[in-house]
């Protein structure tokens, strides 16, 4: 049995090592740690590099635990694109064996109050996209002109999105959002909305009874008609609160992971769907 077990372990190690060795042999590769960074990377690199997203669709990025293969993909990549402190296993892998080119978004957009969801403000995502472009120009200078051209198009798209939010939320009867967890502070700050979360930064945080009472009082005093859930979190807490208060529920997408069944959905289209949901909930004209 010992020799059989040893043979199996040996075969597993050979398989793992050969799998890891094959990771870096297919041309330039960019490893993005979660969806908004994948979106930026794909828009900038185009066909000049393969973009791998470490966070599978429908997975909560905060909960990501890297596989052996994913750790090897980070090590073998041309560049890695991540946000420090959002996914500790990614931080550990990058610290242990990062490629020559790595971009931590917090070096570009410092986090406010520990909130990692900066991409809810398109102008901040645009800033990160410019930094990513500079990194890719250094990593693959032969394609520098294409990277810069792709970035220019992405910057235009993000400016249009920002303009749509500014005009779409300029005149609203209610200027408050009640959301399931604290993922929309950057959006609120950019577009002058007061955002109140039921839970904290992480979706599974449990609110205290006192906090629930404060949220309930806020909903009643401001005439709030809608409490927002999100796609990657359980709706149970929001459903219970909305039932008790007699208000509607709707969905805001945090965009941490791409969950839409629409094959053409992307950051831009989902952000616009969020805008439409806020306009309806807050009676914007």
Which DSSP string do the residues of 119-152 spell out, in sequence order?
A: GGSHHHHHHHHHHHHHHHHHH-GGGHHHHHHHHH
The answer to whether residue 33 scores a pLDDT higher than 60 is: yes
Q: Give the pLDDT score at 20.
A: 44
The per-residue pLDDT for 26 is 65
Cα 180-158-60 angle, rounded to 5 deg: 35
Could you tell me which residues come within 8 angstroms of residue 14 by beta carbon, excluding any fewer than 6 positions away?
A: none
pLDDT at 201: 61
Q: Average pLDDT of 186-202?
A: 89
Q: Is the pLDDT of residue 13 over 80?
A: no
Query: Running DSSP on this structure, what letter comes out for residue 103?
Result: E
Q: Please give the helix or strand (H or E) that residue 178 lies within, else none.
A: strand 176-179
The Cα–Cα gap between 247 and 226 comes to 6
Average of per-residue pLDDT values in the chain: 89
Res. 85: pLDDT tops 60 = yes
pTM: 0.88
pLDDT reported for residue 231 = 75
The model's confidence at residue 261, banded by pLDDT at 50, 70 and 90, is low
Higher pLDDT, 146 or 230: 146
Delineate the domains of the chain, giving CATH numbers in brackets.
24-165 (3.40.50.1980), 171-281 (3.40.50.1980)
Checking if the pLDDT of 116 tops 90, the result is yes
Place of tokens 């971009």: 103
């Amino acid at each position: 049995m010992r020799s059989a077990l040893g043979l199996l372990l040996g075969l597993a190690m050979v398989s793992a090592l050969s799998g890891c060795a094959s990771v870096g042999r297919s041309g330039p590769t960019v490893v993005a740690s979660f969806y908004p960074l994948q979106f930026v990377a794909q828009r900038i690199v185009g066909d000049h590099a393969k973009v791998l997203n470490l966070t599978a669709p429908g997975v909560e990025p905060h909960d990501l635990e890297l596989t052996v293969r994913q750790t090897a993909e980070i090590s073998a990549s041309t560049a890695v694109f991540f946000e420090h402190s959002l996914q500790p296993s990614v931080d550990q892998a990058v610290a242990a064996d990062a490629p020559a080119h790595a971009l931590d978004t917090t070096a570009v957009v410092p986090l406010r109050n520990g909130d990692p969801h900066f991409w809810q403000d398109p102008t901040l995502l645009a800033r990160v996209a410019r930094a990513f472009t500079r990194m890719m120009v250094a990593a693959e200078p032969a394609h520098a002109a294409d990277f810069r051209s792709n970035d220019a198009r992405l910057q235009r798209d993000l400016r249009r999105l920002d303009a749509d939010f500014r005009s779409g939320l300029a005149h609203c009867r209610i200027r408050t959002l009640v959301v399931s967890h604290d993922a929309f502070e950057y959006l609120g700050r950019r577009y002058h909305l007061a955002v109140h979360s039921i839970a904290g930064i992480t979706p599974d945080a449990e609110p205290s009874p006192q906090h629930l009472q404060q949220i309930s009082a806020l909903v009643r005093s401001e005439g709030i008609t809608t409490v927002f859930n999100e796609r990657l979190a359980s709706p149970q807490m929001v459903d219970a609160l909305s039932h008790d208060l007699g208000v509607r529920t709707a969905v805001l997408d945090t965009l941490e992971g791409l969950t839409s069944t629409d094959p053409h959905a992307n950051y831009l289209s989902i952000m616009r769907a969020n805008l439409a949901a806020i306009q309806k909930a807050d009676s914007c004209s």
